[in-house]
Amino acid sequence: MGGTPITILSWLGCLILCVALSGPALAASDPLHDLEVHRAPFVREIAQLRHIGTPEGVESLERVELGGTHQWISIRGRNRNNPVMLFIHGGPGTPMMHLSWAFQNGWEDYFTVVQWDQRGAGKNAAAGSRRALAGTMTIEQITQDAEALIALLQKRFNKGKVVVLGFSFGSEIGIRVARQRPDLVSVYVGVGQAVGQEGERILYERTLELARYHHNETAVKELLSVAPYPALQGYSSETAVMTVRRWATEFDGGWYGQKDLRLLYTLPTLAPEYTNRDLRAWIVANTWVGEQMYRELFSDDLRSLGRDFEIPIVFILGRHDLDTPYEDAVNYFEWLNAPAKKLITFERSAHFVMLEEPGRFIVTLVQDVLPYTEGAAVYDKDVLDVKSNSAITPSPTH
């Protein structure tokens, strides 16, 4: 999610996904054997509910070429003349396209929202060659992919600039685009903004503090067993990273009110954008992408980019976020210089703000982000015909 891959969540998510979809009929040979049967009717209903029928609208699921590879994007909005917003997902390797059905619908009244599965991740995993991608899994390359995608969107929708929303690890990509290519970006929106190694220290100290506050001796013992954290030299072990984040989630630092991230791995099974093959490949790819980028992420610090920006900056942060610690993001925000900047705190959210307080999130996008764009489009009242495009409904047999 934030500045480090959370491999434990990939493993746990796979287990939960298998059990949730197979139930009592769990098959020893293939725990996903009845995926086709169980998800199909629910996916059809969600696809119909989300269908965009406005004549000005756009509803597209397609592959585009970025940086020499084919990568999947979803483009959705009720008026294609609205500002374009590119959502850059976290992880690395944890897409949000397959979760967007749970939070994005209201955004599509005001923005043309583009969900992008980054190289090697999500829908790209089923058909991609990991051997070919292995040497390209870098922050620099993914940033270049993002810039190429924005250029494509500018041309397609005849836009001068687009909104860039970076979530979690995606905020490390998004803020680089905002810093390096202000000609492409109208406003940068950092959600669960990652910063660097200081965040790892804050994460550990705050989680240990919460464990002691709740008199959770098991948590205290396990957290002390991985000290010092982060490691004084080199990289913290995978075990240490998993241990700290598991307890941070237990103490509301991941998804406020949820003691685990089960929903993060079960809600995607209802995504119309994903076939059964995509779901199988996504879980494995999540771990693989994290492993490719582990060392680079641990050494990355956004302050090295410099503090001066040429475009407006909006941070949307959950007060309880420990995945990308709130305190670290606030300190970074205060350090930055920009022609306009605003920080909005969601008091009952942690890391997944758009899912934890969805109503407030939409209001924030309209009140605090939209004014930095060309504004929402006005419908042509003389248009009477109804667009005939069909909802995205993948075959359950794929």
pLDDT digits (tens, 9 = 90+) for 268-292: 999 999 999 999 899 889 889 988 9
Which residue ranges make up each domain of the chain? Answer: 7-372
pLDDT of residue 199: 92
Nearest Cα residue to 316 out of 108, 167, 154, 110: 167
Residue 301 near residue 195 (C-beta atoms within 8 A): yes
- pLDDT above 90: residue 6: no
pLDDT of residue 129: 78
- For the entire predicted model, the pTM comes to 0.88
The mean per-residue pLDDT over the stretch 48-56 comes to: 96
Strand order in the sheet with 112-116: 58-66, 69-77, 112-116, 84-88, 162-167, 185-191, 313-318, 341-346
More confident residue, 36 or 327: 327
More confident residue, 103 or 392: 103
More confident residue, 197 or 146: 146
Q: How far, in Å, CA of 205 to CA of 43, rounded?
A: 42
pLDDT of residue 331: 97
What stretch of H or E contains 17? helix 7-22
Nearest Cα residue to 103 out of 92, 124, 89, 91: 89
pLDDT of residue 27: 38
Average pLDDT, the chain: 88
- pLDDT above 60: residue 28: no
Q: What is the pLDDT of residues 379-393, one digit of tens each?
A: 888 765 544 444 444
User: What is the torsional sign of CA 207, 209, 211, 217?
Assistant: positive
The separation between CA 179 and the C-alpha centre of its own chain, rounded to angstroms, equals 20
- pLDDT above 80: residue 40: yes
pLDDT of residue 393: 44
Residue 118 near residue 144 (C-beta atoms within 8 A): no
- pLDDT above 90: residue 307: yes
Q: How far, in Å, CA of 137 to CA of 295, rounded?
A: 11
Burial of 360 (0-12, 13-18, 19+ CB in 10 A): middle
Rounded to a whole number of angstroms, the CA Rg of the chain reads 20
- pLDDT above 70: residue 344: yes
Nearest Cα residue to 300 out of 134, 203, 189, 176: 176
Q: Which of 22-31, 200-209, 360-369 has the lowest mean pLDDT?
A: 22-31
Residue type, 207: T
User: Considering the domain 7-372 in this protein, what is its CATH number?
Assistant: 3.40.50.1820
Q: Please state, as a whole number, how many other Cβ atoms lie within 10 Å of the Cβ of residue 180.
A: 14
- pLDDT above 70: residue 5: no
